[in-house]
């Protein structure tokens, strides 16, 4: 992980890299509620669509509207956060539109996910690779994290 977080001064060999700071957490991975939520929802979503394609319509899928290899951290956080909050009232799953192999391209995403207790995002997040064999796309109930953020931003601006 530390190799992904080099500063330019380190890359240009102007300074020596600092050792990575330990992630301060008293929780063990099994006690991390967010990690459990992501693993649980991914496992059940994939199980449901494997059982029957109609089961996918019972799930609300939260994703970014633009697709690319390098989704921004705010998009990932918004998708995960909204799915987490919505899961209290409906079956909701975040869908992160980054191929499994491309996750390492954005070191800040991996670092932030690690700080949140998501140690193995390739296995814990629902990614396009997990749905590649399903044509057409299994879910029809979709919500964009951009819409959520824009709506929240507009609401807060009106309140000020």
Here the tokens at position 86 are 């919505």
Q: How confident is the model at residue 9 (pLDDT cuts 50, 70, 90)?
A: very low
- pLDDT: is 149 or 95 the higher one? 95
8-23 average pLDDT score: 51
Judged against a pLDDT cut of 50, whether residue 160 lies above it is answered with no
Question: Where are the domains positioned within the chain?
Answer: 2-10+30-159
Burial class (CB in 10 A: 0-12, 13-18, 19+), 127: buried
What confidence score (pLDDT) does residue 151 get? 45
How far from 11 is each of 15, 108, 111, CA to CA, in Å? 9, 16, 18
Q: Report the predicted TM-score, pTM, of the whole model to 2 decimal places.
A: 0.68
Q: What is the pLDDT of residues 75-111, one digit of tens each?
A: 888 889 888 988 888 889 999 988 888 888 888 899 9
Q: What is the pLDDT of residues 118-127, one digit of tens each?
A: 999 999 999 9
**Using CA atoms in the order 48, 54, 57, 62, what is the torsion angle rounded to 10 degrees?**
50
- pLDDT: is 133 or 69 the higher one? 133
27-31: Cβ within 8 A, 24+ apart: 27/117, 29/117, 29/119
Q: How far apart are CA 151 and CA 76, in angstroms?
A: 17
H helix or E strand, kind and range, residue 52: none
Here the tokens at position 159 are 């309140």
Q: What is the pLDDT of residues 21-65, one digit of tens each?
A: 555 454 444 568 999 999 999 999 999 888 887 888 888 888 876
What confidence score (pLDDT) does residue 2 get? 45
| Helix 107-115 vs helix 73-86: crossing angle, to nearest 10 | 30
């Amino acid at each position: 992980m530390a190799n992904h977080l080099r500063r330019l001064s380190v890359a240009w060999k102007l300074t020596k890299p600092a050792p990575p700071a330990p992630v301060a957490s008293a929780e063990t991975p099994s006690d991390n509620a967010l990690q459990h939520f992501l693993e649980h929802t991914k496992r059940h979503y994939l199980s449901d669509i494997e059982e029957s394609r109609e089961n996918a319509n019972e799930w609300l899928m939260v994703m970014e509207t633009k697709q690319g290899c390098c989704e921004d951290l705010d998009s990932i956080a918004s998708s995960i956060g909204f799915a987490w909050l919505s899961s209290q009232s409906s079956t909701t799953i975040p869908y992160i539109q980054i191929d499994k192999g491309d996750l390492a391209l954005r070191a800040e995403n991996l670092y932030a996910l690690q700080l949140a207790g998501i140690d193995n995002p390739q296995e814990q997040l629902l990614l396009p690779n997990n749905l590649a064999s399903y044509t057409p796309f299994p879910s029809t109930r979709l919500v964009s994290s951009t819409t959520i953020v824009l709506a929240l931003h507009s609401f807060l601006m009106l309140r000020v």
